[in-house]
Amino acid sequence: MVSSCYCLNLCFLTSLSDAAMKKSFILLLAVWCFVPWLKAQDNPYAEEDLYEDDPYFWSHTKEVGVNFTPLISKFVPFNLGQNDAGRIGFIYKKYYSTRAFRFTLGGKLNEVFQSDGSNFLYIGLGLEKRYPISKDKKLSYTSGWDVFILGTETGEEDALGVKKSYGFEYHFSKRVFISTEAYLTLGVNPDQGGPAISFQLPTAIFVNIRLY
């Protein structure tokens, strides 16, 4: 009788032990799968770090740039001349795999009693592609095409045309960089008629933020 009870207890303990081992194994497996996911959630840069060795780490990102030329020029020594910040004040880019859609905007719209003939509005839409220059990808250049429309207060510089952009960038990090652009413009004045071709050297410095 004692022997049979001992056998029953042993079988019960063995089955209990097997069940506990199974539960422990399942728990350890769950923890092993959950910890890497938790670490990825703790690191907000985990996704962008996947592009560490990818020359197109800017793929599938958004970029916002603001013309900082008026502010930067105030800190440049021996800056005695009048600075031309260009027509563009804001740039938005949406990068896909290797190319980006870009939207550019600029304007100066004063009140009527403050009008000095310098008011204007500039809107551009286009495409762009970026190429890394240095191995660490801090230096890069861009090439793009824009279709633009420019309206001025006097009407003398009104234009509708296409613009070829040549950009140069320096990346402080994956999220912050500065840029400047030169332009080859082919446009036409609707009132005066006739095409106009011009090449503009870089005059503006943009501070850009990349959004993942």
Q: Any idea what the CATH number is for the domain that residue 85 is in?
A: 2.40.160
Asked if 93 and 184 sit in the same domain, the reply is yes
Could you list the residue range(s) of the whole structural domain that residue 177 is in? Answer: 62-211
In a domain, 123, yes or no: yes
Token pair for residue 20? 């506990």
In a domain, 107, yes or no: yes
Query: How many CA atoms lie within 13 Å of 26's alpha carbon, on the beta-carbon side?
Result: 6
User: pLDDT (tens digit, 9 = 90+) per residue, 81-99?
Assistant: 556 678 899 999 999 988 9
Asked if 35 and 95 sit in the same domain, the reply is no
Instruction: Name which of 126, 61, 125, 130 is nearest 99 in CA terms.
Output: 130
Q: How far is CA 124 from CA 73, 89, 107, 134, in A?
A: 25, 11, 12, 29
User: pLDDT (tens digit, 9 = 90+) per residue, 185-212?
Assistant: 998 877 776 788 899 999 899 999 999 8
Residue 172 has pLDDT above 90, yes or no: yes
User: pLDDT (tens digit, 9 = 90+) per residue, 7-36?
Assistant: 444 454 455 455 555 555 555 555 555 445
How many angstroms separate the CA atoms of 5 and 20, rounded? 22
* pLDDT of res. 16: 43
Residue whose token pair is 């004063």:
110
In a domain, 148, yes or no: yes
